[in-house]
Amino acid sequence: MIDSQEFIVGLDIGTTKICVLVGRKNEHGKIEIVGIGKSDSHGVMRGVVSNIDKTVDAIKKAVKEAEDNSGVEIKNVYVGIAGQHIRSMQHRGQLLRNNAETEITVDEIKKLVQDMRRLAVPAGDRIIDSLPQEFIVDNELGIKDPVGMCGAKVEADFHIITGQVSAIQNIRKCIEKAGLNLVEMFLEPHASSCAVLSEDEKEAGVALVDIGGGTSDIAIFQDGIIRHTCVIPFGGNIITEDIKDGCQVMRAHAELLKVRFGSALEQETQDNQVVSIPGLRGREPREISVRNLSRIIQARMEEMIEMIDAEIMSSSYKHKLIAGIVLTGGGSYMKHLVQLVQFKTGMDARIGLPTEHLASVKVDQLKHPMFSTGVGLILKGIEDYEEKEREQSVISEKRKEEILSQPLPQPEKIEAPVFEMEEEEVKKPRKSFFEGIMKGLKEKFSEEVDENFGGKN
Provide the pLDDT confidence category of residue 456 given band limits of 50, 70 and 90.
very low
pLDDT tens for residues 92-122? Answer: 998 898 888 888 888 889 889 888 888 888 8
Assess if CATH 3.40.640.10 describes domain 201-351: no
Provide the pLDDT confidence category of residue 452 given band limits of 50, 70 and 90.
low
Closest CA to 62 of 54, 261, 383, 272: 54
Q: Give, as one character, the DSSP assignment of residue 263.
A: B
Provide the pLDDT confidence category of residue 180 given band limits of 50, 70 and 90.
very high
Residues whose CB is less than 8 angstroms from the CB of residue 290 and which lie 6 or more positions away in sequence, other chains included: 261, 263, 269, 270, 273, 274, 275
Give me the pLDDT at residue 22, please: 93
Over residues 173-202, the mean pLDDT reads 92
Residues whose CB is less than 8 angstroms from the CB of residue 207 and which lie 6 or more positions away in sequence, other chains included: 218, 219, 220, 221, 308, 312, 317, 321, 324, 325, 326, 347
Give me the pLDDT at residue 178, please: 92
Alpha carbons 301 and 304: distance in angstroms, whole number: 5
Return the number of other C-beta atoms located less than 10 Å from residue 50's C-beta.
13
pLDDT tens for residues 150-160? Answer: 989 999 999 99
Give me the pLDDT at residue 419, please: 52
In terms of C-beta density within 10 A (0-12 exposed, 13-18 middle, 19 or more buried), how is residue 364 classed? Answer: exposed
Alpha carbons 106 and 145: distance in angstroms, whole number: 10
Average pLDDT, rounded, for the chain: 85
167 and 82 Cβ atoms separated by less than 8 Å? no
Written as one letter, the residue type at 350 is R
90 and 22 Cβ atoms separated by less than 8 Å? no
Buried b (16+ CB within 10 A) or exposed e, 66-103: bbebbebebebbbbbbbbbbbbbeeeebebebeeeeee
Provide the pLDDT confidence category of residue 446 given band limits of 50, 70 and 90.
low
Assign domain 88-161 to its CATH architecture: 2-Layer Sandwich (3.30)
- Calculate what percentage of the chain has a pLDDT beyond 90: 40
Taking CA 231 as the corner, what is the angle to CA 228 and CA 236, rounded to the nearest 5 degrees? 135
235 and 211 Cβ atoms separated by less than 8 Å? yes
The helix/strand/coil state of 270 is: coil
Flag the least confident range among 32-46, 53-67, 390-404. 390-404
Helices assigned H by DSSP within 355-456? 372-405, 433-456
Start-to-end CA span in the chain (Å): 132
Return the number of other C-beta atoms located less than 10 Å from residue 256's C-beta.
17
Give me the pLDDT at residue 442, please: 66
Provide the pLDDT confidence category of residue 439 given band limits of 50, 70 and 90.
low
As annotated, the residues of the chain forming the CATH 3.30.1490.110 domain(s) are 88-161
As annotated, the residues of the chain forming the CATH 3.30.420.40 domain(s) are 201-351
